[in-house]
Structure 1
Amino acid sequence: MEDILRQAVGVLRSMWRFRWWGLALTWVVGAAAAVVIYTMPDRYESTARVYVDTQSVLRPLMSGLAVQPNLDQQIAILSRTLITRPNVEKLINMADLNLEVTSGPQREQLVGELMSGLRIGGTGRDNLFTLAYRDGDPKRAQRVVQALMSLFVESGLVSKRQDTDTARRFIEEQIRNYEEKLTAAENRLKDFRLRNMALLDAGGRDYVGQLAAVSAQLEQARLELREAINSRDATQRQLQGEDPVLLPQMPNAAGVSIPEIDGRIDAMRKTLDALLQRYTESHPDVIGTRRVIEDLEAQKLKEIEMRREAGPGQFGSLNANPVYQQLKLVLSETEARIASLQARVGSHEARLAELRASAELLPKIDAELAQLNRDYDVHKRNYETLVQRRESANISVEMGATSGIAEFRVIDPPSLPLKPAAPNRALLMLAASVAAIGAGAALTFLISQLRPSFADGRSLREVTGLPVLGTVSLLGDPRREASERRGRYAFAGGVAGYAGAVAVVTAALKMLQG
């Protein structure tokens, strides 16, 4: 630390020898800076403030129905990206600055000046933006700020409409694409069902489900068939204990009826009507029922013929006792039901055999059907979502056009500056005076290094590397001391004069600017 202080003191002593050179350069640089600062052209700043109101009563009311863009973020991005070359060229035409340029280089220079001079500042949270521009002509600065404010408002509205139109066009295009995909998926599903109609289940069940369902139906039909057979056997056993009572023949044989056969025919016809309500003519139950009816009618005709041949006493209408006739009717109904159940059991057995024979084919069909249904469901869900988004976009457009979601309000119109905003000559003068002092100090240091001197023998020995045998002291001389004292006073006066001159010039420039 002691060595550093000793070296610093040595450097200052060397610089002190050439202090007049530094003072002279300080005066020269300071005077030149004062002239340059005084001759700098004035620049006038025009400003305007715009408030963007992004709050609307409709926004919370239409939440969930309309698209709610982040308007604050959009406006902030707009303020940072507004000053671009296309916008600046448009601003030149809006502010009539194109009348002042006559060549391409001049226009390029003007574009560069505007892009570097235009400023848009915002508070960030309150959406309050300040637009400013400096120019040598106050009216021209005002025109530029007016054009920039108009461009700011128009760009905000146009960009919002462009974003909405672009989104709507994209959604419409996607809807058309998904309509085509949905139609193609429907056609593939329809063709697949037509090709495999005989193997597909109407309930949409897979192979295992179909097999289980048919097996369950077959077991149920067999159970009902056994119950019907047992019921028929029980009825027949009851009929063995009842004797029919025959009454005289009716005069006309054509009107003869056989109750037990007619009851069975009526029961079978009711069953046929019930089957036709559920199945077609080609259904096995319907065909079996019709066959039973035909057999009963043939049996009736045969019985009438036999009684006609037996003689008039035996040909007539049978009228058994009520219990016997009721049991006959129950027996005929039971036999009709047995025939129907037998046909149903045969149909289920054929269906089950068909399913078991297609054991290898049906799982592939089920997998392909599941894939087709999955693709169709995905396309349909995306299509419905896009349609919903399109309606939301339409509502958003209508809401924006009706209520003005983002409203631009001019708080302060572009001002016409009366006083120059730049340059700040007083501040520049103070900075230039400090710079002049630094230039003078640098000159003294440079000369001291070019013409070094040694203040003591130790410094001389360290620099030359030679032994110093001794030093000669300078004797005091009153006249020399008085001369040095006058020199110090003169230097102090020069420094004080420089400081006073800087203060006077700074005050004068401030008064001139203010």
Structure 2
Amino acid sequence: MEELLTRLYGYLRGMWRFRWWGLAVTWVVGVVGGFVVYSIPDRFESSARIFVDTQSVLRPLMSGLAVQPNVDQQVAILSRTLITRPNVEKLISMADLDITTRTPTERESLITSLMSDLEIRGTGRDNLFTLAYRDRVPERAQRVVQALVSLFVESGLVGKQQDSSSARRFIDEQIGNYEEKLTEAENRLKDFRLRNMALLGDGGRDYVSQIAELMNRLNDTELELKEAENSRGSLERQLGVEDPMLRADPPDPSMVSVPDVDARLAVLKKNLDEMMLRYTNEHPDVVGVRRVIAQLETEKKQEIETMRKSGGGQGAAPGANPVFQQLKMALSEADARVASLRARLAELNSRLAQLRSQQELLPKIEAEQTQLNRDYNVHRQNYESLVQRRESATMSVEMSAQGGITEFRVIDPPTLPHTPAAPNRLLLMPLAGLLALAAGIAVTFLIAQLRPAFIEPRGLREVTGLPVLGVISLLPDPAKEKADRRRMMLFSGGVASFAVAVGAMTVLLKWLQT
């Protein structure tokens, strides 16, 4: 920080040596600037205010159904309608501005200047618009604004209708384009779903749902296969102990198997064993189960007796055992069921393996489907929005036709200005003074850099690279101090007189404008 201040102090000391040059440049630039500000031609502004009454009885009733542009939109539409080359050429003829134009170049320059100088300003509310134009001649500015008001009133509604027609044509073209895009997107999505139906599934069954369903069916089939194999094993064991031939004097009836009765007896005996762990022999449930077991054993004996009689009666020749035949038929059915379940299990495993082999394609397919759905949804939303806007625009045009023509009221007619609106010399003159002062300071700094001097020993040591052994102080001289004070007063007077001159010139220009 100290080094920065030291360097700044050195710059100021160097500029102080050439202060008279800076003061002279300030005076010269100030005089030239004052002459330039004074010589800028005056421009007079003529303006008119117009109220556009767009209210009707149908507007609040059709709110939300028909297009109702706000004030900003109306200003934009009016600006595009009026400040265009055809309207400006018509305005030149209406205001007799083409009398002084003799060449196509002058006419082109006039059109360009009018398009840049004409202004249509909105107040932001109440549909009030201000039309303004600036020119060197007050009467000509008034004629231009009067012509602009006429164009505003005449072409406002026509331009609005043209904009509505253009908007409808544009919307119709966009609807046609989006119909084609929507049809193409639908076809792409349909073809994609047909190609990847196995992975995408039908309806709510996607890839994950199909995997889960196959796993559930596979587990159920494996369980059924185990049950069928257990059942077949049981039949094989019963068939192994059953005699194929029914003898005349059969062995103990307990050795003969009656499947239905034996199954019920097995269950009841198991229940009886469980009850005996908790109850006594006199318990009613125990007594009831034993009574049922006794009945089933009696029934089994009767079944065996019936089968013996059907085989030729007691003492007859031995014949085929019907129990053995029934077991053999049941075993055949069990074998067929096991084979069927194994085939089903193999098919389910094959389907599951096929789906799992395609799981690497699933992310790509899902990404492609997401993109296709996104494109389709975008086209569909844009299409529906355009159709809705077209209906709204149609209803808006019909509402305008039923509601009457928009009314234009001239609140303030074009004025004939007597005081120039530009340039603002009260602002330009102080700015010219500040510019002149900045030019003087810049010239002083430039000369100080071109003709540098050493103010302190540090600068001399840094430039030469040699050590500074000592410094000789300047002895005070009364005559020199008096001369320095006199020069200081003269310099201060020159700066003060420049400021007074700028202020006096500003007041003079203010007086001349009034």
TM-score, normalised to structure 1's length? 0.54
Amino acid in the other structure paired with 1:492 = S
State the partner residue of 2:480: 480
Report the CA distance shift for 1:458/1:30 in structure 2 as closer, same or farther (over 3 A). Answer: same
**Structure 1 residue 70, shift from structure 2 partner:** 2.4
- Note the aligned Cα RMSD (angstroms): 3.0
**How do 1:420-431 residues align onto structure 2 when only pairs under 5 Å count?**
420-431=420-431
Alignment partners' CA distance in 2, 1:7 and 1:74: 59
The reply to whether residue 60 of structure 1 matches residue 53 of structure 2 is no
Number of positions where the alignment pairs a residue of Structure 1 with one of Structure 2: 300
For 1:37-63, what per-residue CA distance to the aligned partner results, in whole angstroms no more than 9, with x for missing partners? 222211101011112222222323466
Please tell me whether the aligned partners of residues 43 and 421 of structure 2 are also in contact (alpha carbons under 8 angstroms).
yes
Report the CA distance shift for 1:61/1:431 in structure 2 as closer, same or farther (over 3 A). Answer: same
Alignment partners' CA distance in 1, 2:441 and 2:470: 33
Report the CA distance shift for 1:150/1:476 in structure 2 as closer, same or farther (over 3 A). Answer: same
Alignment partners' CA distance in 2, 1:61 and 1:395: 14
Please tell me whether the aligned partners of residues 67 and 392 of structure 2 are also in contact (alpha carbons under 8 angstroms).
no
Alignment partners' CA distance in 1, 2:392 and 2:17: 86
**How do 1:53-452 residues align onto structure 2 when only pairs under 5 Å count?**
53-61=53-61, 67-70=66-69, 72=71, 74-81=73-80, 82-163=82-163, 392=395, 395-400=398-403, 403-404=404-405, 406-452=406-452
Alignment partners' CA distance in 1, 2:393 and 2:474: 101
Please tell me whether the aligned partners of residues 131 and 149 of structure 1 are also in contact (alpha carbons under 8 angstroms).
yes
Alignment partners' CA distance in 2, 1:395 and 1:12: 77
Please tell me whether the aligned partners of residues 58 and 399 of structure 2 are also in contact (alpha carbons under 8 angstroms).
no
Query: Secondary structure, in 3 states, of the residue corresponding to 2:36?
Result: helix
Alignment partners' CA distance in 2, 1:150 and 1:393: 26
Report the CA distance shift for 1:22/1:171 in structure 2 as closer, same or farther (over 3 A). Answer: closer
Amino acid in the other structure paired with 1:448 = A
Moved more, 391-400 or 123-132: 391-400
Alignment partners' CA distance in 2, 1:407 and 1:395: 17
**Structure 1 residue 86, shift from structure 2 partner:** 2.2
Please tell me whether the aligned partners of residues 78 and 156 of structure 2 are also in contact (alpha carbons under 8 angstroms).
no
**Structure 1 residue 69, shift from structure 2 partner:** 3.7
Amino acid in the other structure paired with 2:106 = Q
Query: Secondary structure, in 3 states, of the residue corresponding to 2:471?
Result: coil
For 1:69-90, what per-residue CA distance to the aligned partner results, in whole angstroms no more than 9, with x for missing partners? 4264541222442322222222
Amino acid in the other structure paired with 1:78 = I
**Structure 1 residue 137, shift from structure 2 partner:** 0.4
Amino acid in the other structure paired with 1:55 = Q
State the partner residue of 2:467: 467
Report the CA distance shift for 1:446/1:395 in structure 2 as closer, same or farther (over 3 A). Answer: closer
Alignment partners' CA distance in 2, 1:85 and 1:119: 15
For 1:281-326, what per-residue CA distance to the aligned partner results, in whole angstroms no more than 9, with x for missing partners? xxxxxxxxxxxxxxxxxxxxxxxxxxxxxxxxxxxxxxxxxxxxxx
State the partner residue of 1:358: none
Alignment partners' CA distance in 2, 1:11 and 1:388: 75
Please tell me whether the aligned partners of residues 76 and 124 of structure 1 are also in contact (alpha carbons under 8 angstroms).
no
For 1:99-128, what per-residue CA distance to the aligned partner results, in whole angstroms no more than 9, with x for missing partners? 121111101111111112111111223322
Please tell me whether the aligned partners of residues 45 and 141 of structure 1 are also in contact (alpha carbons under 8 angstroms).
yes
Amino acid in the other structure paired with 1:77 = A
Please tell me whether the aligned partners of residues 45 and 421 of structure 2 are also in contact (alpha carbons under 8 angstroms).
yes
Please tell me whether the aligned partners of residues 122 and 130 of structure 1 are also in contact (alpha carbons under 8 angstroms).
yes
Structure 1: 5+ residue runs without aligned partners? 174-384
Please tell me whether the aligned partners of residues 164 and 393 of structure 2 are also in contact (alpha carbons under 8 angstroms).
no
Please tell me whether the aligned partners of residues 48 and 130 of structure 2 are also in contact (alpha carbons under 8 angstroms).
yes
State the partner residue of 2:491: 491
**Structure 1 residue 23, shift from structure 2 partner:** 0.4
Report the CA distance shift for 1:430/1:459 in structure 2 as closer, same or farther (over 3 A). Answer: same
Amino acid in the other structure paired with 1:452 = P
Report the CA distance shift for 1:21/1:491 in structure 2 as closer, same or farther (over 3 A). Answer: same
Query: Secondary structure, in 3 states, of the residue corresponding to 2:55?
Result: coil
Amino acid in the other structure paired with 2:162 = Q
Alignment partners' CA distance in 1, 2:478 and 2:416: 69
Query: Secondary structure, in 3 states, of the residue corresponding to 1:496?
Result: helix
Amino acid in the other structure paired with 1:454 = F
**Structure 1 residue 503, shift from structure 2 partner:** 1.1
Please tell me whether the aligned partners of residues 46 and 133 of structure 2 are also in contact (alpha carbons under 8 angstroms).
yes
Alignment partners' CA distance in 2, 1:170 and 1:427: 49
For 1:336-367, what per-residue CA distance to the aligned partner results, in whole angstroms no more than 9, with x for missing partners? xxxxxxxxxxxxxxxxxxxxxxxxxxxxxxxx
Amino acid in the other structure paired with 1:449 = Q
Please tell me whether the aligned partners of residues 43 and 422 of structure 1 are also in contact (alpha carbons under 8 angstroms).
yes
**Structure 1 residue 171, shift from structure 2 partner:** 11
The reply to whether residue 33 of structure 1 matches residue 36 of structure 2 is no
State the partner residue of 1:47: 47
Report the CA distance shift for 1:453/1:109 in structure 2 as closer, same or farther (over 3 A). Answer: same
Please tell me whether the aligned partners of residues 168 and 393 of structure 1 are also in contact (alpha carbons under 8 angstroms).
no
Report the CA distance shift for 1:48/1:439 in structure 2 as closer, same or farther (over 3 A). Answer: same
Query: Secondary structure, in 3 states, of the residue corresponding to 1:131?
Result: strand
Query: Secondary structure, in 3 states, of the residue corresponding to 2:401?
Result: helix
Report the CA distance shift for 1:471/1:53 in structure 2 as closer, same or farther (over 3 A). Answer: same
Please tell me whether the aligned partners of residues 95 and 147 of structure 1 are also in contact (alpha carbons under 8 angstroms).
yes
Amino acid in the other structure paired with 1:100 = T
